[in-house]
Amino acid sequence: MNNLLSAKHTSAGVAGLGATGYLTIDIASLSRNYEKLAAMVMPGRAAAVVKADAYGLGAERVSRALYARGCRHFFVAQFVEAQELRLALAPDAQLFVLNGLQPGAEMASAELGIIPVLNSLEQYRRWCVAARSLKRTLPAVLQFDTGMSRLGFPPEERPTLAKALEENGTVEVLFIMSHLASADELDATQNAEQLAEIRRIADEFAGFDISIANSGGVFLGNAYHGVLARPGIALYGGAPTAGAPNPMEPVVSLEVAVVQTRTVPAGTKVGYSGVHVTDGEARLATIAAGYADGLPRSLSGRGAVYYDGIRLPIVGRVSMDSITVDVSALPEGALSLGSLVEVIGPHQSLEDIARDAGTISYEILTSLGHRYFRHYR
């Protein structure tokens, strides 16, 4: 398990030999997470949010795997993401762009069958123009701002939108949606307020179906499930609810190789600016991943990696390409060039490292670098 030279981490045998880090993405766990969420939201459907390259895990691999499990609705944030993913997905997979329409993307969206989430009157009008020039109706989702002030029709645009929808048959509204600002907090009153608001809007607009739940929303109860849930982080093993046990299976594990070990006397400075000074003789290991690989600099002097279940604290500053850890808790010689330590795995969850870094699991996942050997299991 711990020696790089054995290369037994990789189903591809020696394919990962020489890599300084191994990022393993467990497709079976991902699939089970999807099935769990899909079962919870029945009779509604569960989409997959695969924006930002499926939170860094590979949008194409992830989407194909979830398609095989019955997922037919995929959300990305930007048009360019949709453009790439469209080619990888079967025609019956619907692909939605959360940021809607940027000027200039209208015709390409229409031609590729990409469905914009329209957030404003201006985006709506641009989509109507595209439909008229193509002489056919174009599908869309309408997003309403129900209290996040980020994306979606603001309240003052609703009357004009209602009129436009009545007069104009060129845009086919599939459903309406909104996004919860506090879905990961079970007792946030904002959740119920936003749900009530989107329901009011649905009634106002001829009873459109509703989509409001992200991962956290799925766990807020049936009332939030609507016609289509839009989980992201929970698919990838992140905790949907803050401060509660995580019901999802871990999907990602990360092991990083040791590049050098040394024994130093008391009073030795470690890393940039010498901010860490050893208080006794210490054994140190330098591991081959740093902030350029998505291990935030905020982990400097905080957090740890693990070896054989033993905690090895990070000492000194995180460098661009490496981190130094104190391995004095291990038997002498336990680690050597090429040994692999656990950064994310059975002893340290995504949430653990995110907490130590002062961030959230989303940011850790979407920052994971491209220098690791990626292995899909």
Out of 123, 214, 339, 361, the only residue in the binding site for ligand PLP (CB under 6 A) is 214
Name the residue nearer to ligand PLP (CB basis): 23 or 98: 98
Q: Where are the alpha helices (DSSP H) in the chain?
A: 27-41, 51-55, 59-68, 79-86, 106-112, 121-134, 158-167, 189-204, 215-218, 350-356, 361-367
d(CA 359, CA 353) in angstroms, rounded, equals 9
Name the residue nearer to ligand PLP (CB basis): 232 or 303: 232
Which tokens is 270 given? 């470690």
Name the residue nearer to ligand PLP (CB basis): 179 or 283: 179
Which tokens is 89 given? 């997905």
Cα 183 from chain centroid (whole Å): 15
Out of 4, 25, 49, 89, the only residue in the binding site for ligand PLP (CB under 6 A) is 49
Q: How far is the CB of 332 from ligand PLP (least distance, A)?
A: 44
Name the residue nearer to ligand PLP (CB basis): 234 or 344: 234
| Residue 150 annotated as lining a ligand binding site | yes
- Cβ-count burial of 267 within 10 angstroms (0-12 exposed, 13-18 middle, 19+ buried)? exposed
Stretch that binds ligand PLP, among 78-86, 190-198, 228-236, 263-271 (CB under 6 A): 228-236
Q: How far is the CB of 2 from ligand PLP (least distance, A)?
A: 33
| Residue 320 annotated as lining a ligand binding site | yes
Stretch that binds ligand PLP, among 22-30, 198-206, 214-222, 245-253 (CB under 6 A): 214-222
Handedness of CA 133, 135, 139, 142 (dihedral sign): positive
Out of 20, 31, 194, 215, the only residue in the binding site for ligand PLP (CB under 6 A) is 215
User: Does 225 contact ligand PLP by CB under 6 A?
Assistant: no
| 8 given a catalytic annotation | no
Backbone conformation region of residue 37, classed left if phi is above 0, alpha if psi is from -120 to 50, else beta: alpha
| 272 given a catalytic annotation | yes
Stretch that binds ligand PLP, among 83-91, 213-221, 243-251, 278-286 (CB under 6 A): 213-221
Helix axes 59-68, 79-86, angle to 10 degrees: 60
Which of the residues 51, 124, 236, 291 is marked catalytic? 51
- Residue that the structure tokens 């330590």 belong to: 341
Stretch that binds ligand PLP, among 63-71, 161-169, 209-217, 261-269 (CB under 6 A): 209-217
Nearest Cα residue to 364 out of 314, 292, 294: 294
* CB-nearest residue to ligand PLP: 232
Out of 46, 138, 141, 233, the only residue in the binding site for ligand PLP (CB under 6 A) is 233
Name the residue nearer to ligand PLP (CB basis): 75 or 291: 75
d(CA 207, CA 229) in angstroms, rounded, equals 18
Stretch that binds ligand PLP, among 189-197, 225-233, 248-256, 337-345 (CB under 6 A): 225-233
Out of 61, 126, 179, 225, the only residue in the binding site for ligand PLP (CB under 6 A) is 179
Nearest Cα residue to 348 out of 296, 300, 305: 305
Angle 33-77-213 from CA coordinates, rounded to 5°: 45
Nearest Cα residue to 30 out of 57, 3, 8, 6: 57
Q: Which residues are catalytic?
A: 51, 272
> Which residues here bind ligand PLP, judged by CB under 6 A?
49, 51, 98, 179, 214-216, 230-234
